């Protein structure tokens, strides 16, 4: 499901701050498509986009600070800083305009960038299967979140990562792909465990208390936006997007890692949206 990178993908390290460089995977030519992976994930998760979309796009997949082959400092492992890292990266790569795609907690990286640096350079925005406001009040029917504001919600999530990160990540890997295939799960776990414990914990704590709903709403007004949600929570997602991002296009993917499990369909959705006239 996540094969080794082909020779067509180039790998570079781009300095973005003192002592911090980001590993960048790149393939193809055309409109730049910048892709941000989720919690503890690396750019390798987007191998099928680096191959499947490179005929029409300059596909640029990034290991965020602390992830994959990027620098793993003790400090700065927050979405606020990673939004600034992204700004430094697009400057370094000389990207005047680009399509920005965030998946899972990578959505928070994208919206953090928008919070601090605006949408002037963003041609289009793709939000893939993440709630812009992660904590949700279960008593408020209008809210939709990744981690409910309950003991079993945010506290349970953080305890799972603290107490048994490998077990948590292994179970979640199977959930993301809808399969217990040992090789596929092992590959996801291998890539996810490249992120050190201190960064994994800091990131899940930061993410579980983040609210970028205002940025998502304003961005969907400023630039064409596509929101893709997995099928098992698509009804709640559609309700939230309709209320908070009515200008956004909405569509579904079968699973959280639908870009890998159903790569051709996912790529077709992104290609159609990104190539369409605004």
Helices 79-93 and 106-117 meet at what angle, rounded to 10?
A: 70
Q: Is residue 236 part of a domain?
A: yes
CB atoms within 10 A of CB 40: 27
**Is the pLDDT assigned to residue 276 strictly greater than 90?**
no
Q: What is the CA radius of gyration of the chain?
A: 17
How many angstroms separate the CA atoms of 179 and 139, rounded?
33
CATH code where residue 250 lies = 3.40.50.1820
128-155 mean pLDDT: 93
Q: Is residue 219 part of a domain?
A: yes
pTM: 0.97
CA-angle at 30, arms to 29 and 32, nearest 5°: 95
**Is the pLDDT assigned to residue 278 strictly greater than 60?**
no
Q: What is residue 141's predicted lDDT score, i.e. its pLDDT? A: 86
Residue corresponding to tokens 């490249």? 194
pLDDT tens digits, one per residue of 11-43: 999 999 999 999 999 999 999 999 999 999 999
Q: Is residue 88 part of a domain?
A: yes
How many angstroms separate the CA atoms of 142 and 144, rounded?
7
- The pLDDT confidence band at residue 127, using thresholds 50, 70 and 90, is very high
- The pLDDT confidence band at residue 85, using thresholds 50, 70 and 90, is very high
DSSP secondary structure letters along 111-128: HHHHHHH-STTEEEEEEE
Share of the chain above pLDDT 90, in %: 95
How many angstroms separate the CA atoms of 119 and 111, rounded?
10
Q: Is residue 2 part of a domain?
A: no
Quick check: 103 and 130 in contact, CB under 8 A?
A: yes
Q: Is residue 161 part of a domain?
A: no
Distance of CA 116 to the CA centre of its chain: 18
Q: What is residue 195's predicted lDDT score, i.e. its pLDDT? A: 98
Strands (E), 143-268: 147-148, 225-230, 249-253
How many angstroms separate the CA atoms of 143 and 198, rounded?
30
Q: Is residue 180 part of a domain?
A: no
59-76 mean pLDDT: 97
pLDDT tens digits, one per residue of 208-219: 999 999 999 999
Q: Is residue 44 part of a domain?
A: yes
Q: Is residue 138 part of a domain?
A: no
pLDDT tens digits, one per residue of 142-181: 899 999 999 888 999 999 999 999 999 999 999 999 999 9
Strands (E), the chain: 10-17, 20-27, 31-36, 57-62, 98-103, 122-128, 135-136, 147-148, 225-230, 249-253
Number of domains the chain is built from: 1
State the average pLDDT for the chain.
97
Q: Which residues pair with 226 in a beta bridge?
A: 126, 249
How many angstroms separate the CA atoms of 112 and 80, rounded?
6
Bridge-based pairing of strands 122-128 and 135-136 is unpaired
How many angstroms separate the CA atoms of 107 and 136, rounded?
17
Which range marks the domain in which residue 112 is found? 10-133+212-275
């Amino acid at each position: 499901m996540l094969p080794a990178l082909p020779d067509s993908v180039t790998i570079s390290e781009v300095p973005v701050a003192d002592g911090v460089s980001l590993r960048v995977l790149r393939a193809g030519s055309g409109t730049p498509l910048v892709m941000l992976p989720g919690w503890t994930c690396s750019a390798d998760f987007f191998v099928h986009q680096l191959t499947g979309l490179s005929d029409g796009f300059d596909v640029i997949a990034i290991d965020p600070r602390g992830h994959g082959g990027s620098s793993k400092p003790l400090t700065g492992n927050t979405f606020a800083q990673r939004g600034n890292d992204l700004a430094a990266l697009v400057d370094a790569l000389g990207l005047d305009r680009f399509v920005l795609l965030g998946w899972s907690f990578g959505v928070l990286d994208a919206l953090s960038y928008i919070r601090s640096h605006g949408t002037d350079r963003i041609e289009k925005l793709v939000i893939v299967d993440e709630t812009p406001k992660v904590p949700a009040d279960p008593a408020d029917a209008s809210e939709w979140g990744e981690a409910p504001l309950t003991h079993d919600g945010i506290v349970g999530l953080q305890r799972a990562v603290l107490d048994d990160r490998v077990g948590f990540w292994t179970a979640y890997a199977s959930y993301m792909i809808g399969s217990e295939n040992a090789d596929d799960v092992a590959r996801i776990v291998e890539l996810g465990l490249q992120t050190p414990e201190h960064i994994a914990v800091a990131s899940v704590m930061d993410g579980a208390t983040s609210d970028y709903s205002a940025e998502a709403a304003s961005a969907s007004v400023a630039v064409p936006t596509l929101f893709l949600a997995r099928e098992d929570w698509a009804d709640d997602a559609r309700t939230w997007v309709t209320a908070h991002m009515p200008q956004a296009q909405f569509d579904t993917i079968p699973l959280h890692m639908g870009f890998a499990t159903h790569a051709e369909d996912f790529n077709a959705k992104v290609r159609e949206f990104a190539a369409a006239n605004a």
